[in-house]
Structure 1
Amino acid sequence: MNVTPTPPELAPYLDEPAQLRSGGFGKNALLRLRFERRGGRSILAFMERRAPLLVQKALYCDEGMPDLPVVFIISNAGGILQGDRYTMDFAVGPGACGHVTTQAATKIHEMDANHALQTQELTLDEGSYLEYIPEAAIPFAHSRFLTRTKVRIAPSATLLYAETLMGGRKYYRDGERYRFDLFSSTVAAERPTGESLFVEKFRVEPARSPVFRPGVMDDFDVFGNVLLLTPPAIADAVAARAVSAWNKAEGWAAGVGRLPNGAGLVYKVVGKETSLVRARIREFWSIVRPEVAGRPVPPEFAWR
C-alpha cells in the first residue's frame, strides 16, 4: 500500500484537536462528479457526495454555451475547519464538457490545532473540456491549509483551472492581511500513460518569509493562479491575445507564460482587490473558451 508522505510544511501542525479528531465523522468530506456526452449535450452522469460537501443538479444557465452543465459546489459547514479532510474527484468523458465552481468564497477558519487538507483529482478524456473556476479562498488568521491537485489529461483535452487566494480578511477589525500560518498548493499534471507534464507548488508562510516585498506580493493583497492545459495550437492562439501588463493606476499586474512539455499556459495575476483579479481571470477565460469550444463567455451574473 502506497502512503503519501506528510509534506514537511505540515510538521508543526500534526497535533490532534481537543474536539473531533482530524478526518473523523463530519470532517471527511467527499465529492465525486463525472460528466459524459449524451444525446448531443453533456450531462452530469454521476455524483457521489458526503457532507459537508454537496451539489444539487447540474444547471444549463450559461447563455454563451447552453449545452454546458454548470455545477455549484456547496458546503453546509460554513467553511473549512481544523482537522477537515476534503477529497474531490472530477472526471470528464470523451467529447464531454463541464463547468465547476463554488457557491461562494471558501473560508478557512482560524485554527489552534492540526490543519486542513484538500485532495483533488481531475481526469479528462480525449476531446473533453473542463472549466474549474472556484471562488476565492480566504484564510483567516492562524489557519493552516494544504491542497494537492493531480491532473490526468489526454493530449486533445482542455482544462482551465483557476485558484484565487486572498491575503485574509482585509477589512476585518484592524485587518488580517497575511496573518495565516500556512497556505500550500501543489498541482501535478500527467498524461493517461503516466508521462509527467509538470509540477507546480507555491507555499506561503508569512511568519517565516514575508510576502510584502518585491518579487513576491509587494503591496498586492490577492493572487490569482490560472493553468490552461490544452493542445499547442490552442495555447499559441490564447498566448497571442492574453494580456501581460502592470496597471499601477488600477492596482493589478498580470502575465502569461508557457507550461513545460507543451502542456499549455500559466497565467498569474495579482491585485489590490479581489474584483480586479476576478476581472483579469474572466478576461483570460473569455479568450480561452472561444478558442476551445467556439462559444463566448456570458456576462457575469449581477449576484456573482
Structure 2
Amino acid sequence: MNPEPRSEGVSGMAIRGHLDLRCERRADGTTYISRQSFRAPIHLSKPHQESGALVVHLVNPTAGFFDGDRLDLRVEAGAGSSVVLSTPGASRVYRARGSEAAICSQQLTVEEGAFLEWIPEPFIPQAGAKYHQRTSIDLAPGAGLLFFEWIAPGRVARGEVFEYESLRWELDLRVGERLLARERYTLDPATQSLAALKQRFPESHYLTVYTSGILGTAWPGERLDELNGEKVYLGHGPLEEGVAVIRAVCADSLAARELLGVLRRVLHEAAGRAVPRLGRLNL
C-alpha cells in the first residue's frame, strides 16, 4: 500500500502530516533510529532503551483529527532490531464539518529477526466523526509482532456512545509475499454494523491484537481463555506462519486498560521477551 500523493502541512482547514521512521540494530545489539522525518500532527518524544527494546513515543500535540486531515505513517524495524511504538495520549477525531473523512494510512515493516510492538492509547471517535484508517503490515518470516488496537465507543462521560457518523477500518497483513489477514469493515450507527459490539456490553470497548513470533507450543491459549469474565469477552485463534489474532470486547475503559496490560505481559512472556515499561497505568 503506497501513500497517495499529497501536499504537506496545513491546507485550508486540513492538516497533511506524516511520520517516516526506520530503526536498525548496532553491532553491540542496541536499536537506534537511523531515519526519521515527521510533521504535525505527529511529534517524536526522546526515545529510550527499555528491556532490550527502543521505546519511541508518538505524540500528537494538536487537539486531534478533523475531517479532511490526513496522516501517513511509515515505520520500518530493520533486521535484528527491537522497537516499541507507543502513544502517551488517546487519539481523538471530532465531528465532521463536511463530507470528507479524516484519513490515517499506516505502513509497518518488520524485517528478519526484528520485533515491533505497536501499542497506542484508545481511539475515541466523538459524535458526528468520520474516520478512515488503512493499515499494511509486512513481516519477514519469523519476525516478531505485537500490534494492538483499541476503539472506544465515544466520549462516554458526556453521554456520547456510538454516536459517530462512520468508522472505516482496513488492514492487510503479509508474511513475505503471502497475504494472511485482510480486514474490511465499516462501523456505522445507522446500520446493523454495531450489533455485535453492543450485544455483550452497551458501552463496549473493542480490542484487537495481531501477534507473530510466538511458537505454537508456547501459545498461551489457556491463560487467554482465563481472561474471560463479567467484563471481558475474548476469543483468539491461529492463522498461519506463526501469526495469531486476539479479539475482545470490554464493558468499559477500566476493563479494557486492565486487559491490555495483562495481554502485554502474557504475550511478551510467551515469546520469551522482557516486558518494556511504557510509563503508563498498568503498562
Q: Shorter-chain-normalised TM-score: which range? A: 0.7 to 0.9
Partner of 1:185: 169
What's the CA shift for 1:189?
Answer: 1.2
Give the alignment's Cα RMSD to 1 decimal: 2.5
Corresponding position of 2:60: 75
- Of 135-144 and 36-45, deviating more is 36-45
Tell me the distance in 2 between the aligned counterparts of 1:300 and 1:275: 17
Alignment of 1:1-304 (within 5 A): 20-21=11-12, 27-38=15-26, 39-60=28-49, 62=50, 65=51, 67-113=52-98, 114-172=100-158, 175-192=159-176, 194-209=177-192, 211-212=194-195, 218-230=201-213, 233=215, 235-244=216-225, 245-248=227-230, 251-259=231-239, 261-298=240-277, 301-302=280-281
Identify if the C-alpha distance between structure 1 residues 241 and 75 changes in structure 2 by more than 3 Å, giving closer, same or farther: same
Residues 164, 222 of structure 1: 8 Å contact kept: yes
Partner letter of residue 269 of structure 1?
A
Q: TM-score, normalised by structure 2?
A: 0.88
Contact 1:85-1:117 within 8 A present in 2 as well: yes
Asked whether the equivalents of residues 141 and 179 of structure 1 are also in contact (C-alpha less than 8 Å), the reply is: yes
Please say if residues 228 and 266 of structure 1, whose CA atoms lie closer than 8 Å, have aligned partners that are also in contact: yes
CA distance in 1, matches of 2:262, 2:209: 12
Contact 1:79/1:109 (8 A) holds in 2: yes
The CA distance in 2 between the partners of 1:229 and 1:215, in whole Å, is 29
Q: Return the alpha-carbon distance in structure 2 between the equivalents of residues 89 and 214 of structure 1.
A: 30
**How far apart are the structure 1 equivalents of 2:272 and 2:78?**
16
- Given that 2:211 and 2:244 are in contact with CA atoms closer than 8 Å, whether structure 1 keeps it comes out as yes
In 2, the alpha carbon distance for the partners of 1:131 and 1:51 equals 23
- Structure 2 unaligned residues grouped into runs of 5+: 5-9
User: After superposition, what is the alpha-carbon deviation per residue over 1:252-299, rounded to whole angstroms, capped at 9, x for unaligned?
Assistant: 22121122x334111111112112112212212212223334324549
More strand by share: 2
Query: Residues 99-140 of structure 1: CA distance to partner in whole angstroms, max 9, x if unpaired?
Result: 001120001111121110100000011110011000000000
CA distance, structure 1, for counterparts of residue 278 and residue 18 of structure 2: 31
Name stretches of at least 5 consecutive residues in structure 1 with no aligned partner: 5-18
- Separation (CA, whole Å) in 1 of partners of 2:140 and 2:12: 39
Give distance in 2, aligned partners of 1:98 and 1:141: 34
| Cα distance in 1 for residues equivalent to 2:261 and 2:197 | 26
Shift of residue 301, structure 1, vs aligned partner: 3.9
The answer to which of 76-85 and 290-299 deviates more is 290-299
Once the two structures are TM-superposed, the CA of residue 156 in structure 1 deviates from its matched residue by: 1.4
Structure 1 stretch 39-48 or stretch 160-169: which is displaced more? 39-48
Measured in 1, the distance between the counterparts of 2:108 and 2:196 equals 34
| Contact 1:239/1:256 (8 A) holds in 2 | no
Q: Could you tell me how far 1:201 is from its partner in structure 2? A: 2.8
Q: What is the CA–CA distance in structure 1 between the aligned matches of 2:127 and 2:200, rounded to whole Å? A: 18
Percentage identity across aligned positions?
22
Aligned residues of 2:197 and 2:206 also touching (Cα < 8 A):
no
Q: Displacement of 1:28 after TM fit?
A: 0.9
* Aligned length in residues: 274
